[in-house]
């Protein structure tokens, strides 16, 4: 049985974001609520709020991603935000980077079941040379709840092309992180750091994006 959208407001947001691919989003929700919980990728208490808290919250990242680019999602875990983004934006090439075997196994199974031929799964850590060779030069590097901003930019910026962007999903205190970690971000080659708010008109509350451009 698919984990369909029940709340009317969330259902309307899902239809607007996913359009005629909402069936894929529902199948992904089913994976998260089933195997995702069973394998410890999603907490059991999260099953009742998968749509608003995880799937839609991730998919609105498409608001700040240009058309037809390549996106790398580091520390992808259960596929957040990369899989919802790929479902909502089939024009994108999305590469999921995750170090743990049990998670990459889950991701491989989900990608195959949903037929997401624009998505690749890579096992490894963002800072590893093999990963940098495999996915480096990306237009956009993203992540969700991976690490403090300074450390995150040290991992993420080397995967972006010069002139490309890191657009990481962060909490509401992201402006404070920018101030605290300014030296680390600059050392990693990042400039033009800014906070962007997305998804508020659809979800009722904004998602915060830490955006940094790679200058060198």
User: Residue 6 has what pLDDT?
Assistant: 52
Residues 35-64 have a mean pLDDT of 92
CB of 116 within 8 A of CB of 47? no
Confidence (pLDDT) at 1? 40
Residue 7 region, left (φ>0) first, then alpha (ψ -120 to 50), else beta?
A: beta
Element (H, E) at 175: helix 174-180
CB burial class (10 A; 0-12, 13-18, 19+) of residue 64?
middle
State the residue for tokens 């090439």.
93
Query: Residue 17's pLDDT is what?
Result: 95
Kindly state the helix (H) or strand (E) to which residue 167 belongs, with its residue range. Answer: strand 160-170
> Are the C-beta atoms of 63 and 198 separated by less than 8 Å?
yes
Q: What distance in Å separates the CA atoms of residue 5 and residue 101, rounded to the nearest whole number?
A: 30
| pLDDT tens digits along 94-120 | 999 999 999 999 999 999 999 999 999
β partners of residue 83: none
Tell me the C-alpha distance between 118 and 76, whole Å: 16
Contact 90, 64 (CB under 8 A): no
pLDDT of residue 69: 98
Q: Summarize the annotated binding site for S-adenosyl-L-methionine as residue ranges.
A: 75, 80, 126-127, 144
Q: What residues does each domain of the chain span?
A: 59-214
CA dihedral 64, 14, 42, 134 (to 10 degrees): -40
CATH number for domain 59-214, candidates 3.90.1150.10, 3.40.50.150, 3.40.1050.10, 3.55.30.10:
3.40.50.150
In this prediction, residue 46 carries a pLDDT of 82
User: Mean pLDDT across the stretch 138-144?
Assistant: 97
User: What was the pLDDT predicted at 47?
Assistant: 76
Local structure of 154: helix, strand or coil: helix
Per-residue pLDDT at 9: 62
Q: Average pLDDT in the 55-77 region?
A: 97
> In the prediction, which pLDDT does 44 show?
85
Q: What are the tokens at 22?
A: 């909402």
Residue 12 has pLDDT above 80, yes or no: yes
- Please report, to the nearest 10 degrees, the dihedral formed by the alpha carbons of residues 34, 57, 194, 120 taken in order: 50
Confidence of residue 11 (pLDDT cuts 50, 70, 90): confident
Q: What mean pLDDT do residues 37-46 have?
A: 91
Write down the pLDDT at residue 84: 98
Enumerate the known binding-site residues: 75, 80, 126-127, 144
pLDDT tens for 161-199 read 999 999 999 999 999 999 999 999 999 999 999 999 999
């Amino acid at each position: 049985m698919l984990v369909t959208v029940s709340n009317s407001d969330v259902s309307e947001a899902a239809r607007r974001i996913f359009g005629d691919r909402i069936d894929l989003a529902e199948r992904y929700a089913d994976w998260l609520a089933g195997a995702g919980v069973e394998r410890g990728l999603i907490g059991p208490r999260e099953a009742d709020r998968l749509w608003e808290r995880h799937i839609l919250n991730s998919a609105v990242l498409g608001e700040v991603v240009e058309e037809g680019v390549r996106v790398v999602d580091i520390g992808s875990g259960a596929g957040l935000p990369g899989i919802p983004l790929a479902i909502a934006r089939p024009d994108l090439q999305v590469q999921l980077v995750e170090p743990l075997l049990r998670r990459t196994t889950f991701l491989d199974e989900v990608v195959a079941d949903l037929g997401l031929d624009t998505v690749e799964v890579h096992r490894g850590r963002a800072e590893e040379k093999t990963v940098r060779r495999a996915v480096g030069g990306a237009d956009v590097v993203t992540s969700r709840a991976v690490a403090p901003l300074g450390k995150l930019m040290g991992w993420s910026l080397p995967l972006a092309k010069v002139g490309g962007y890191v657009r990481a999903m962060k909490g509401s205190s992201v402006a404070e992180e920018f101030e605290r970690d300014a030296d680390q971000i600059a050392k990693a080659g990042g400039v033009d750091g800014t906070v962007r708010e997305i998804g508020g008109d659809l979800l009722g509350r904004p998602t915060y994006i830490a955006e940094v451009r790679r200058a060198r």
